[in-house]
Amino acid sequence: MLKYTIRRILYVIPILFGVTLVCFLLFNVAGGDPAAQAAGKYATVEQIESIRAELGLNQPIYLQYLDYLKQILTFDFGRSWSTKQKISEMFWSGVGPSLSVTVPGFLITLMITIPLSLVLGYLRDSFIDRTAMVVCLALISISSLVYILAGQYFLAYLWGMFPISGWDSSWTGRWEYTTLPILIMVVLSLGGQILFFRTIFIEELSKDYVRTARAKGLSNKKVLTKHILRNALIPIITLVVLQVPFLILGSLLLESFFGIPGLGGLLVTAINNADFPVIKAMIVILTILYTTFNLISDLLYAVVDPKVRLQ
């Protein structure tokens, strides 16, 4: 396990190096003059040159890239072009609001979809199963914007059950503003996850060990929970663990429509303002998170399934 972990960590290094190099070339070389974009449309030549010197863009390209790597290693990505704030501070201030929406929504969805999918897999091709499949297909066929706008109009505006948008930074006050986004996130995720988990459970139900367990006289409850659910943990772990980086980075649409100051809204604002330092930082952070949790998912395989050997 230790050798495998060290080897996988070493594999991450060239991946991160490649991502940082591509990101740097896209924004600093192929994307035009960053100093001119930071200065604005009506800036003079003197202003552009001043900004170029301030940002270190008058140095050779390899020194600029080394400085960019230093920023990543120290988690100091400089300052935003639009707000002049430190990007690292903007990131940490946005993590809490993002997780307040995504983590409860994700956990509630898992608590609903895993047992429901297990039951539907057991009842496959029945009236209940077919009805559920139609509902799931309908859920994933509707645009997420429809759910957001419908939730804001009916639940918030007409019926007054929730605030339309807003934010309260206190731990107790924020839930008033996050409840509706969480509900919408759950509805958005139900259809796809039920279809995914149901397919996994149906595949497990057709295997020989299930027939053997039933032949031994085990009840359906024990077969489903102690055998099928346990053997289906690897694809479930893959989905759950690899979703964590995206939970941290928040939901772009939900945060934008509900005025939640999370990382999703931060990224949308940065894209609209062409705030390249913030965009570059978010890309690198997502890459680091994704590769880290991909490693964690591989290590968890050996924990839940002794047949897996990490070589």
pTM equals: 0.84
Q: Could you state, in order of their start, the residue ranges of all structural domains in the chain?
A: 2-74, 87-304
Q: How far apart are CA 232 and CA 20, in angstroms?
A: 36
Give strand pairing partners of 79: 86
Contacts of residue 178, Cβ cutoff 8 Å, sequence gap at least 6: 100, 101, 104, 260
Q: Do residues 38 and 79 touch, judged by C-beta distance below 8 A?
A: no
- Of 197, 190, 234, 187, residue with least CA distance to 122: 197
One digit per residue, the tens of pLDDT, for the chain of length 311 reads 777 778 877 888 888 888 888 888 887 766 566 777 666 667 777 777 787 787 777 788 888 888 888 888 888 888 887 788 888 899 899 999 999 999 999 999 999 999 999 999 989 989 999 999 999 999 999 988 899 999 999 999 999 999 999 999 888 889 999 999 999 999 999 999 999 999 999 998 888 888 888 888 888 888 888 888 888 888 888 888 888 888 887 788 888 889 899 988 888 888 887 788 888 888 888 888 888 888 888 778 777 766 665 55
**d(Cα 58, Cα 245) in Å, to the nearest integer?**
35
Please tell me the class of the 87-304 domain: mainly alpha
